[in-house]
Amino acid sequence: MKRTVFNFVQIFLGINIIIASGCNSPPAKPGETQLSPVQGQEAAVEETQPPEDFLPAELELPPLNENLPVTNFREIWAYLVSGREQALNLKYPITDLVYFGAEVDAYGKLVEVPAFRNISSFRGRKHLVVACNGRALTHFALAEGSPERIALVRDLLEAAKPYDGLQIDFENVPARDGEVFLSFLRELRSGLENRLFSVALPARSRTVSGDVYDYAKIKPIVDRIFVMAYDEHWSTSAPGPIASMGWCQRVATYSLGVIGPEKLVMGLPFYGRSWGSQNLNVAYIHSTVERVKNEQNIGEIRRESGIPYFKYEIPISVTVYYEDAYSLSARLDMYRKMGVASVGFWRLGQETLAFWPQIGLE
């Protein structure tokens, strides 16, 4: 899913790291991946977009100084990462807890399934989520008729038995494996019986030709589609909001039209990102080293066990985009006015606690 831990302490730590070493990408686990095939595909079709601050007149943002509205939804989903159960407050208005950590390993086997007992005190619906990272691995694990896929389906159905639902979060399905992915979902659907079946899909604001995550094809198979409406800007893109209001409005409009409010869960980010004006973590050929030495007027060359090295300092500009109670509340208010009935969050433990009084259940 998704995702990077990002609080104010980490922002300042990240800035210090950037100043010392260049712009580093945040850790991929448990956090958002860098530019994925999915993100790249979306970027290729989104040739023109309205400005990031675009909002239709009827969805103008509330004034900053006013009390934030309380927005009510039919369902509120939230991801919880195994090992960070302390982030769950049982008083939060959450209907569906999505327990993150299970994944497919290099041999196509289901591993790292979190213990159900860790969240047994939560009174709402509990979902097991499983991820598969990497296009080659996903292709290997999903191959129809293969022993790996047969075992994976069997193990997923077995692991899901204590839970109320199962969610598939395969974000690297290869472009030619769309039909294979659909057949995989159908197999799971038939074996889950009355358990809730959901899938996490990347954000779309239009139909993409040959899309392996075709909302219209997946909708009949599952009970819920969790649209990951975040990472509009990511670690290797230009700086910008994780999910700007205008972009979210376009994603929600498309999702409501194709999926409909009964099965749609609009995902929101709790995290932020930082970008540095320069990324200095690169490999150098010798001529580049000599050029840098001349440009920075390097006078002292040191050696470590005979290996030459030098140091220099340059100013770095850092830009940080993040979410607070206002931005989250304004986005929720926009979604509700558009007809979105269910929302979800990546992930518990990343948010400002000032947010929770602004959301409730119908």
SS3 string, 132-186, reads CCCHHHHHHHHCCCCHHHHHHHHHHHHHCCCCCEEEEECCCCCHHHHHHHHHHHH
Decide: 94 and 351 in contact? Cβ < 8 Å.
no
pLDDT in tens, 230-275: 999 999 999 999 999 999 999 999 999 999 999 999 999 999 999 9
pLDDT in tens, 77-120: 999 999 999 999 999 999 999 999 999 999 999 999 999 999 99
User: Which CATH superfamily groups domain 8-276+317-361?
Assistant: Glycosidases (3.20.20.80)
| Domain residue ranges in the chain | 8-276+317-361
What is the widest separation between alpha-carbon atoms in the chain?
A: 72
168 closest CA partner among 137, 138, 213, 199: 199
2 closest CA partner among 352, 347, 354, 272: 347
Q: Give the three-class secondary structure for 273.
A: strand
Q: 273-276 and 318-321 as β-strands: parallel, antiparallel, unpaired?
A: antiparallel
pLDDT in tens, 23-54: 323 333 333 333 333 343 333 334 334 454 55
pLDDT at site 34: 33
User: Sign of the CA dihedral 323, 327, 333, 338?
Assistant: negative
Residue 171 bears catalytic tag:
yes
Q: Give the three-class secondary structure for 198.
A: strand
Q: Match 């409730």 to its residue by tokens.
A: 360
Range of weakest confidence among 5-14, 261-270, 311-320: 5-14
User: Sign of the CA dihedral 32, 34, 38, 39?
Assistant: positive
Task: Give the global pTM.
Answer: 0.85
Both tokens assigned to 179: 């039909």
Dihedral angle computed from the Cα positions of residues 221, 227, 232 and 236, in that order, rounded to the nearest 10 degrees: -60
237, exposed or middle or buried, with CB in 10 Å at 0-12, 13-18, 19+? middle
- What is the pLDDT confidence band of residue 56, given thresholds at 50, 70 and 90? low
Decide: 173 and 138 in contact? Cβ < 8 Å.
yes
User: Sign of the CA dihedral 263, 325, 360, 84?
Assistant: positive
Decide: 61 and 330 in contact? Cβ < 8 Å.
yes
Q: Give the three-class secondary structure for 203.
A: coil
How far, in Å, CA of 195 to CA of 192, rounded? 5
From the list 42, 171, 232, 351, the catalytic residue is 171
pLDDT in tens, 141-189: 999 999 999 999 999 999 999 999 999 999 999 999 999 999 999 999 9
Q: Strands, E, within the chain: which ranges? A: 71-73, 75-81, 96-104, 110-111, 125-131, 165-169, 196-202, 224-228, 264-269, 273-276, 302-304, 307-309, 318-321, 342-346, 359-361
Strand partners, 349: none
- Which residues are CB-neighbours of 300 under 8 A, at least 6 positions away? 310
pLDDT at site 119: 98
Both tokens assigned to 110: 């289901």
Round the average pLDDT of the chain to a whole number and report it.
87
Q: 199 phi and psi, to 5 degrees?
A: -140, 140
Q: 200 phi and psi, to 5 degrees?
A: -95, 125
